[in-house]
């Protein structure tokens, strides 16, 4: 497979063109938005909790490159039904494995934008920790 085919493999294009859980939840229990200032990717994530802190529903909106939007779409599938506390400490590798494509440092920021935004939303609603390793990443991603 060429580098090109690896990066824009079918599953990425599918999530980009038909994003899962697209659209903001209203009402929602948690929300956060963020931008990647390097390329202008934007993502807003909303979360609704079920019993305890289980993520019952998650919805996102955004605009940006295929990698940022597909990765956020894949992320929403990955976290539904899981407790906020567990997602808050989810290593980025878990998402990267799901994405399954080689990423340069610049594109890595695109791929991890949604996860950073989701963790901020959970932190705001549930007080879950923002892991130390995210210190750098959240510095590069401007979160509001």
Q: Interface mask (CB under 8 A) for another protein, residues 73-112, using x and -?
A: ----------------------------------x--x--
CB 34 within 8 A of CB 117: yes
Axis-axis angle for helices 92-99, 105-126 (nearest 10): 130
Q: Compare residues 44 and 128 and give the one whose CB is closer to another protein.
A: 44
Report helix, strand or coil for 48: strand
Q: Compare residues 99 and 110 and give the one whose CB is closer to another protein.
A: 110
How near is the Cβ of 50 to another protein at its closest, in Å?
34
Candidate segments 33-41, 75-83, 84-92, 126-134, binder of another protein by CB under 8 A: 33-41
Q: Compare residues 66 and 90 and give the one whose CB is closer to another protein.
A: 66
Residue 135 in the binding site for another protein (CB under 8 A)? no
# residues contacting another protein (CB under 8 A): 19
Determine the Cα–Cα distance for residues 39 and 24; give it in Å rounded to an integer.
Answer: 23
How near is the Cβ of 40 to another protein at its closest, in Å?
3
Q: How many CA atoms lie within 13 A of 102 on its CB side?
A: 6
The residue from 19, 34, 59, 64 that contacts another protein (CB under 8 A) is 64
Residue 65 in the binding site for another protein (CB under 8 A)? yes
Determine the Cα–Cα distance for residues 19 and 123; give it in Å rounded to an integer.
Answer: 24
Determine the Cα–Cα distance for residues 69 and 113; give it in Å rounded to an integer.
Answer: 9
Residue 39 in the binding site for another protein (CB under 8 A)? yes
* CB neighbour list of residue 89: distance below 8 Å, 6 or more residues apart: 128, 129, 131
């Amino acid at each position: 497979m060429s580098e090109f085919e690896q990066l824009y493999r079918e599953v990425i294009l599918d999530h980009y063109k038909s994003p899962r859980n697209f659209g903001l939840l209203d009402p929602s229990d948690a929300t956060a938005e963020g931008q990647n200032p390097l390329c202008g990717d934007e993502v807003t994530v909303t979360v609704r909790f079920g019993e305890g802190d289980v993520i019952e529903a998650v919805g996102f909106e955004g605009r940006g490159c295929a990698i940022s939007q597909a990765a956020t779409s894949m992320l929403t599938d990955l976290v539904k039904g899981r407790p906020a506390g567990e997602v808050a400490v989810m290593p980025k590798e878990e998402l990267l494995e799901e994405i399954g494509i080689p990423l340069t440092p610049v594109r890595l920021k695109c791929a991890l934008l949604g996860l950073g935004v989701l963790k901020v939303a959970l932190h705001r609603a549930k007080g879950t920790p923002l892991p130390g390793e995210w210190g750098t990443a959240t510095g590069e991603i401007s979160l509001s």
